[in-house]
Amino acid sequence: MTAMNGRNNEGRKKVLAVASSGGHWTQLLRVTPAFTSDEIVFVTVLESYRGQVPENKVHIVSDANRWNKFALIVLAIRIGWIVARERPNVVVSTGAAPGYFALLFGRLFRARTIWIDSITNIEHLSMSGSLAGKYADLWLTQWPHLATPKGPRYGGSVL
Amino acid sequence: MILVTVGSQASFDRLIRAVDEWAQLRLRSDVFAQTARTNYVPKHIKFTDFVDPSDFKTLVERSKLVVAHAGMGSIISALEMGKPIVVMPRRARFRETRNDHQVAAAKHFGKIGRIIVAQNEQELTEKLDHAVTLGETDRIETQASPELLATIRSFLDGSSDPPGARGYRAG
């Protein structure tokens, strides 16, 4: 059982790692080595992804996008509930909508938040990435030319 | 085997049709496609709607060439296993995706060289003829660049105060 301060029994940090399907998920898996000493709990959108992280707890949510407001609201409530229950120390996401809400609620519950905008966004940030900047303590683009003094910042890429 | 994949989210009939017709023309019986909910029903190549991620990994491993939409999941899977990959970007004007981010991504990755880019069906046919002659290349690491991992670690350690990283609070 997780203590209220978010530390688990071994005193490790708890990281909530959030991504929707496809490239978002693939990129999220590539950054998890940054959290090797921490407990990672995943949130994603496909049951079939569980097998790729057999050691970890995984929450499955229904993805949503800006064209379906009702699904977005359901997703927001679901993510809010997960963050409230897990009380992570760190929230990290590569996108898209589930990650945006995870950073929003992560900020609310005083987690440190990291947004890594997908490498596929070369000409401009993703919509979720632009919005998530407001809630990101570390707000990253994977393209140097998209970095600005006010953020996002460039700090390497998943490749 | 040649593995064709359009990702899990949406069909990509232009790609599947073009590969199907190419396979017929070149008498290739070793093409397998993951099509999502395709409207175009392939006549010559073997296909399935979806593949479980672990099975997908095995398929990539066994393939000689990957043909895909310009999605990062597909691209990274091929690069991690050192397979040559031909991509054709989805286009918003054909309602294959909401915006043209794949066109920009494909253009950029094509310049790097590891990924063969076809902007349309005709180019795809030409590039496939070339790509089937290619062998395996070096596998990329299965984790992010050392620079990105270091950026995240130093942020977590609180040992850096980079611009764009705002409002550090006690964890």
Q: How far apart are CA A56 and CA A40, in angstroms?
A: 7
**B-contacting residues in A 100-139 (Cβ below 8 Å):** 110-112, 114, 116, 118-123, 137-139
Q: Which residues of B57-93 are buried (b: 16+ CB within 10 A; e: fewer)?
A: bebbeebebbbbbbbbbbbbbbbbbebbbbbbbbbee
Query: Contacts of residue B7 in chain A, CB cutoff 8 Å?
Result: 21-22
More confident residue, B114 or B143: B143
- Which residue's entry shows tokens 């994949």? B5
Closest-CA distance, A20 to chain B, in angstroms, reads 11
DSSP state of A65: -
pLDDT of residue B8: 85
pLDDT tens string B83-109 = 999 999 999 999 998 888 899 989 888
SS3 call for A89: coil
| pTM of the predicted model as reported, rounded to 2 decimal places | 0.90
- Which of these, B137, B132, B128, lies nearest to B1 by C-alpha position? B132
**All domains in chain A, ordered by first residue:** 14-154 (3.40.50.2000)
CA torsion angle A58 A64 A129 A156 (round to 10): 40
Q: Minimal Cα–Cα distance from A149 to chain B, Å? A: 7
Please tell me the distance in Å from B60's CA to the nearest CA on chain A: 15
Residues sharing a CB contact under 8 Å with residue B82, sequence separation 6 or more, in sequence order: B136, B137, B138, B139, B140
- pLDDT tens per residue across span A59-98: 999 998 887 899 999 999 999 999 999 999 999 999 999 9
Nearest-angstrom CA–CA distance, B111 and B20: 27
Mean per-residue pLDDT over chain B, rounded: 91
Task: For B167, name the nearest residue in chain A, comparing CA atoms only.
Answer: A137
Q: Which domains does chain B have, with CATH numbers?
A: 2-136 (3.40.50.2000)
Which residue in B45, B88, B73 sits closest to A48, CA to CA?
B73
Which residues of chain B are within 8 Å of residue A92 when distances are taken between CB atoms? Answer: 152
* ipTM score assigned to the predicted complex: 0.92
**8 Å CB contact of B171 and A147:** no
